Chain A
């Protein structure tokens, strides 16, 4: 049951990325190009997603527990540390170079562009390296 739900929600998320245009790196890079071929569309993606999530999360968290799990698992940290600056800074540089963040990169995978086929394994390697480094420091 959980597997089917996850498949459907991944598909819904991916359809949102495709419909919004966020799955196209050209559109992402033009959004980030304030001084050139600026395309503000992605601000509307963010707006639509945050608006629905803002309302939906509040309604959902009135429940005692999720439908298929014993409890809600929400991040609780509120501290601002160096990792919270360095990580997103590196992420933003990579995002600006390739035009992909993780979700759109997966929606691009099956279309098989050579750049995607290099990007996705490199992204997974970077994720693995960050987890391994965090484990060693912990």
Chain B
């Protein structure tokens, strides 16, 4: 996916068709989870309930869903014959802070990009519109500060 590298940050190609189709698969997964299991596909909800305390059943199902996510790049690589490209920061302190914030914030706010951003917006939930607006704004501001104020 990454075409070439800028002096500071890798540029990425604009991929409207692949991104729309990939998004449609995400939406289809969410619809089928509701149809079959009656549950909303929120990744932070699924992942956080793999941790104690355990109050409800369904542990094996949630673990299987996460296992499917982990398997996806290998299946994609096997089907297309091309390895999946991901550019992950090697600044480990930054990634530690980012992980803590994402995990805490997702559970504290009752959802993440999938639960609020996709499923909640599709259900026209006012809470999810607020949450999505807040995390998008925080993300835009953070990248602006990191790349153009601190890093610029």
Could you tell me how many residues of chain B have their Cβ less than 8 Å away from some Cβ of chain A? Answer: 117
Q: Is B103 touching A124 in the complex (CB atoms < 8 A)?
A: yes
Q: Is B95 touching A98 in the complex (CB atoms < 8 A)?
A: yes
A128: chain B residues at CB < 8 Å are 48, 51-52, 103
Return A52 CB to nearest CB of chain B, in Å.
3
Q: Is B27 touching A84 in the complex (CB atoms < 8 A)?
A: no
Q: Is A126 touching B65 in the complex (CB atoms < 8 A)?
A: no
Q: Is A16 touching B25 in the complex (CB atoms < 8 A)?
A: yes
Q: Is B116 touching A122 in the complex (CB atoms < 8 A)?
A: no
With most chain B CB atoms within 10 A of its CB, the pick from A10, A35, A118, A130 is A10
B130: chain A residues at CB < 8 Å are 80, 84-85, 88
Q: Is B22 touching A20 in the complex (CB atoms < 8 A)?
A: yes
Tell whether A52 pairs with B90 under 8 Å between CB atoms, given A11-B68, A78-B127, A122-B99. Answer: no
User: B51, B127, B141: which contacts A96 (Cβ < 8 A)?
Assistant: B141
Tell whether A87 pairs with B108 under 8 Å between CB atoms, given A12-B32, A20-B19, A109-B70. Answer: yes
A45: chain B residues at CB < 8 Å are 19-20, 22-23, 26
Q: Is A118 touching B96 in the complex (CB atoms < 8 A)?
A: yes
Q: Which of B57-106 contact A (CB under 8 A)?
A: 58, 60-62, 64-76, 84-92, 94-106
Tell whether A92 pairs with B138 under 8 Å between CB atoms, given A85-B130, A103-B43, A125-B100. Answer: yes
Residues of B within 8 A of A (CB): 1-2, 6, 9-41, 43-44, 47-48, 51-53, 58, 60-62, 64-76, 84-92, 94-110, 112-114, 116-123, 125-127, 130-132, 134-144, 146-148
Residues of A within 8 A of B (CB): 2-27, 29-30, 32-37, 39-42, 44-54, 56-57, 59-61, 63, 65-75, 77-80, 83-103, 105-111, 113-116, 118-131, 133-135
